[in-house]
C-alpha cells in the first residue's frame, strides 16, 4: 500500500524533470564527428581529388551501392564517374574503412529525404566537397612512394631518396 | 419540455463525447509528462487537434466484421457500451440547475444500474467475437466487473446512509459542512478501486491486457466500433471522476469560484489522478485482482457500512 503510494508520488514528481525528447526539426541533436551519415568524397590540402579509383570501397560495400570507373590523367588515377545509390546504402562505414586515401568519408548529416528514388543516386559532383573532411593534413601522394608530376621518386614525406645501385660498386 | 431542457439534452452528450475524445489527447500528453517526454504536440496548439485527427482517421477506417463473429451481437456490443457510458450523465448534477434529469430521487441507483449494464458491452463483445483472446477478455471482464460491482454498491451505502437519500442533489447538500471524503475515507478508497475496475482502466485493465490477450475483448473490432469502445471507456473515466466529485468531494461546493467551475476542477483533478495511476502502476495478476476484491475490499466495505451505521445510530439516539 505504502509502496503503491510512493510509486504514485515518484511518478508525479517526474512532471518536474527535464524532458528527454529532442524536438527534432526545430532543435537539432548533437551528432559526433564520427557519426555515420551522408557519404562525401574529400579533397587533398592542395585541392586535388583524393580518390584514386582503387575500387576498394565498392568491393567492401555489403549492399553494392557504390559504382565507379577508373580513368587516368596526369600520371595518376581518377574516378571517371563515382556513383552512390543512397536508397541502398546502409551507412555501415565499411567504404570509409577500406579507403586507402581517406577520400570517402561519412559525415554527421542524415537529412537526405527525397520523394523519388532516382534523386537518391548521388553522382561524383554531388559527393565531392571542396575540403579535406576529417583528415585536414593528409595527402596521399605526399606520403605514397609513387612518383607523380611535380614529385619525383624519393621526394615523399618520411622517404629517403632511392639508393643509386651503381654507386655501391667497389 | 422547455426549450432549455431540450437544449441540455442535445448538448450534454455532445460535450461528453467531446470530452472523451479530448481525453485521449490529455492522457497522452500527461503520460508523456510523467515519462519525461512530450507526447503528441504537433497538431494544433500543443497538439490539441491530435484527438480530431485520430477521430477522423478511425472514422474512415474499414469497419470489418469477421465472418466467424456473431454478427448481430457483435454490432450490438459497442452500442450498449456507448449507451451505458453516456446515460448516467443524465443524473449527474454539475450544479444545482445543470443536468438533464435534474434531481432524480434514485439517481445513484440509476447510475449503478447503468454501470452494471455496462458489463454486457464487454462480455457480449468478447463472446460475439468468437475468438479465444476476445473470449478470455470477456470472461475476465465479466468476473472482474461483477465482483467489483458488489462492493462498489456497498461502499456507496455509507454515503447514502449519511445523506439519507439516493438523490445526488441531496448527497451534495449533505456535504455542506464536511466533504464525505473525511468521514467516508474507507468508502472513498474502496469506491476508487472499484471505479477503476469498473471502467477497466489501468492498472485493472485485465479485460484488455494488451501483452497477454492481444487487445482483450475488442481484439476483433475495427473502425468506429473500436472507437466507440474507446469513447465509452473515456466517458467511463469522466463518469467515475464526476461521481467521486459528487459523492465524496462536495460536488459543486466551494468558495469564490462559480459552482460549475468547482465541479470541473474537482472532476478534472480526479481524471488526472486516473491517468497518474496508469502512468505509475503495473497490472496485477488476475488472481491477485480477485483476491484483493473479495478478501480485502469486500470486508472493508462491509466494515464501513457497519461502522457508519453504528455511528449514525449512536448519534441519533
Question: What cell was used for B228?
Answer: 466507440
Residue-averaged pLDDT of chain A: 90
Burial letters B249-266, b for 16+ CB under 10 A, else e = bbbbbbeeeebeebbbeb
Name the closest residue on chain A to residue B278, using Cα atoms. Answer: A8
Q: What's the total number of domains in chain A?
A: 1
Whether the CB-CB separation of B101 and B155 falls below 8 Å is answered with no
Task: Determine the Cα angle at A21 with ends A35 and A9, to 5°.
Answer: 140
Asked if residue B51 is part of any domain, the answer here is no
Range of the domain at A86: 30-142
Asked if residue A25 is part of any domain, the answer here is no
A69 CB within 8 Å of a chain B CB: no
Question: What cell was used for B42?
Answer: 504537433
Q: Where are the alpha helices (DSSP H) in B35-131?
A: 50-60, 71-86, 107-129
Backbone angles phi, psi at A122, to 5 degrees: -95, 130
Task: Determine the Cα angle at B257 with ends B253 and B263, to 5°.
Answer: 45
Asked if residue A163 is part of any domain, the answer here is no
Asked if residue B246 is part of any domain, the answer here is yes
B315 CB within 8 Å of a chain A CB: no
A65 is in an annotated binding site: no
Asked if residue B283 is part of any domain, the answer here is yes
Instruction: Calculate how close chain A gets to B38, using CA atoms only, in Å.
Output: 7
Chain centroid to Cα B295, Å, comes to 23
Task: Give the best residue of B29, B30, B34, B202 to mutate against chain A (max A CB count within 10 A).
Answer: B34
Range of the domain at B69: 65-316
Asked if residue B56 is part of any domain, the answer here is no
How many alpha carbons lie under 13 Å from residue B121 in its C-beta half-sphere?
27
Asked if residue B1 is part of any domain, the answer here is no
Asked if residue B60 is part of any domain, the answer here is no
Measure the CA–CA gap between B126 and B136, rounded to whole angstroms.
Answer: 7
Measure the CA–CA gap between B27 and B34, rounded to whole angstroms.
Answer: 11
Asked if residue B27 is part of any domain, the answer here is no
Measure the CA–CA gap between B201 and B250, rounded to whole angstroms.
Answer: 24
Q: Is B147 left (phi over 0), alpha (psi -120 to 50) or beta?
A: alpha
Asked if residue B36 is part of any domain, the answer here is no
Q: Do A15 and B280 touch (CB under 8 A)?
A: no
Asked if residue A14 is part of any domain, the answer here is no
Q: B67-109: per-residue pLDDT in tens?
A: 888 888 988 989 998 888 888 888 888 877 766 666 778 888 8
Q: Residue B1: pLDDT above 60? A: no
Task: Give the best residue of B276, B280, B292 to mutate against chain A (max A CB count within 10 A).
Answer: B280
A11 CB within 8 Å of a chain B CB: yes
Q: Which residues of chain A have a CB within 8 Å of the CB of B279?
A: 11
Asked if residue A93 is part of any domain, the answer here is yes
Measure the CA–CA gap between A164 and A133, rounded to whole angstroms.
Answer: 39
We report the CATH number of the domain holding residue A42 as 3.30.70.3270
Q: Which residues of chain A have a CB within 8 Å of the CB of B32?
A: 19
Q: Do A20 and B36 touch (CB under 8 A)?
A: yes
Q: What is the pLDDT of residue A115?
A: 94
Q: B242-290: per-residue pLDDT in tens?
A: 889 888 888 788 888 888 888 889 999 999 999 998 888 888 888 888 8
**Residue B121 neighbours by CB under 8 Å, 6+ apart:** B77, B78, B80, B81, B82, B84, B229, B232
B279 CB within 8 Å of a chain A CB: yes
Asked if residue A2 is part of any domain, the answer here is no
Q: What's the total number of domains in chain B?
A: 1
Instruction: Calculate how close chain B gets to A110, using CA atoms only, in Å.
Output: 22
A61 is in an annotated binding site: yes
Q: Do A15 and B37 touch (CB under 8 A)?
A: no
A positions 103-122 inside 8 Å of B (CB): none
Measure the CA–CA gap between A153 and B268, rounded to whole angstroms.
Answer: 83
Asked if residue A11 is part of any domain, the answer here is no
Residue-averaged pLDDT of chain B: 86
Q: Do A7 and B277 touch (CB under 8 A)?
A: no
What is the reported pTM? Answer: 0.81
Q: What is the pLDDT confidence band of residue B11, given thresholds at 50, 70 and 90?
A: confident
Q: A107-155: per-residue pLDDT in tens?
A: 999 999 999 999 999 999 999 999 998 999 898 888 888 888 878 888 8
Asked if residue A18 is part of any domain, the answer here is no
Amino acid at each position: 500500500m505504502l509502496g503503491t503510494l510512493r510509486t504514485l508520488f515518484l511518478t508525479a514528481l517526474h512532471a518536474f524533470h527535464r524532458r528527454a525528447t529532442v524536438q527534432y526539426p526545430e532543435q537539432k541533436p548533437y551528432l559526433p564527428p564520427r557519426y555515420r551519415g551522408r557519404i562525401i568524397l574529400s579533397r587533398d590540402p592542395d585541392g586535388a581529388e583524393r580518390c584514386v579509383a582503387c575500387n576498394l570501397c565498392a568491393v567492401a560495400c555489403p549492399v553494392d551501392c557504390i559504382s565507379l570507373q577508373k580513368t587516368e590523367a596526369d600520371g595518376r588515377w581518377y574516378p571517371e564517374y563515382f556513383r552512390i545509390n543512397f536508397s541502398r546504402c546502409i551507412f555501415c562505414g565499411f567504404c570509409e574503412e577500406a579507403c586507402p586515401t581517406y577520400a570517402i568519408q561519412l559525415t554527421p548529416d542524415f537529412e537526405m529525404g527525397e520523394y523519388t528514388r532516382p534523386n537518391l543516386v548521388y553522382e561524383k559532383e554531388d559527393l565531392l566537397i571542396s575540403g579535406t573532411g576529417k583528415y585536414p593534413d593528409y595527402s596521399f601522394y605526399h606520403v605514397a612512394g609513387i612518383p607523380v608530376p611535380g614529385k619525383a621518386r624519393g621526394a615523399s614525406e618520411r622517404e629517403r631518396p632511392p639508393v643509386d645501385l651503381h654507386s655501391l660498386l667497389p | 419540455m422547455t426549450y432549455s431542457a431540450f437544449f441540455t439534452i442535445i448538448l450534454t452528450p455532445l460535450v461528453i463525447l467531446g470530452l472523451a475524445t479530448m481525453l485521449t489527447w490529455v492522457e497522452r500528453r500527461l503520460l508523456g509528462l510523467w515519462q519525461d517526454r512530450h507526447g503528441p504536440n504537433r497538431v494544433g496548439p500543443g497538439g490539441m487537434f491530435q484527438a480530431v485527427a485520430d477521430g477522423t482517421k478511425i472514422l474512415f477506417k474499414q469497419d470489418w466484421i469477421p465472418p466467424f463473429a456473431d454478427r448481430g451481437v457483435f454490432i450490438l456490443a459497442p452500442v450498449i457500451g456507448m449507451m451505458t457510458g453516456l446515460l448516467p450523465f443524465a443524473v449527474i448534477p454539475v450544479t444545482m440547475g445543470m443536468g438533464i434529469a435534474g434531481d432524480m430521487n434514485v439517481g445513484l441507483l440509476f447510475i449503478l444500474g447503468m454501470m452494471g449494464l455496462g458489463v454486457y458491452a464487454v462480455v457480449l463483445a468478447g463472446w460475439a467475437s468468437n475468438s479465444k483472446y476476445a473470449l478470455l477478455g470477456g470472461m475476465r471482464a465479466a468476473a472482474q466487473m461483477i465482483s467489483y460491482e458488489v462492493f462498489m454498491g456497498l461502499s456507496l451505502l455509507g454515503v447514502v446512509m449519511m445523506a439519507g437519500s439516493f438523490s445526488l442533489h441531496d448527497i451534495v447538500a449533505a456535504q455542506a459542512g464536511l466533504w464525505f471524503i473525511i468521514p467516508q475515507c474507507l468508502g472513498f478508497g474502496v469506491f476508487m478501486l472499484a471505479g477503476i475496475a469498473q471502467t477497466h482502466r489501468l492498472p485493472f485493465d485485465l479485460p484488455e491486457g494488451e501483452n497477454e490477450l492481444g487487445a482483450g475483448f475488442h481484439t476483433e473490432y475495427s473502425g468506429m466500433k473500436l472507437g466507440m469502445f474507446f469513447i465509452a471507456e473515456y466517458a467511463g473515466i469522466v463518469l467515475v471522476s464526476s461521481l467521486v466529485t459528487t459523492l465524496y468531494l462536495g460536488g459543486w461546493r466551494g468558495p469564490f469560484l462559480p459552482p460549475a467551475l468547482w465541479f470541473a476542477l474537482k472532476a478534472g483533478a480526479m481524471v488526472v489522478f486516473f491517468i497518474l495511476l496508469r502512468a505509475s502502476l503495473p497490472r496485477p495478476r488476475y488472481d491477485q485482482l480477485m483476491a484483493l476484491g473479495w478478501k480485502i475490499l469486500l470486508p472493508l466495505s462491509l466494515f464501513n457500512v457497519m461502522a457508519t451505521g453504528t455511528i449514525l445510530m449512536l448519534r441519533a439516539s
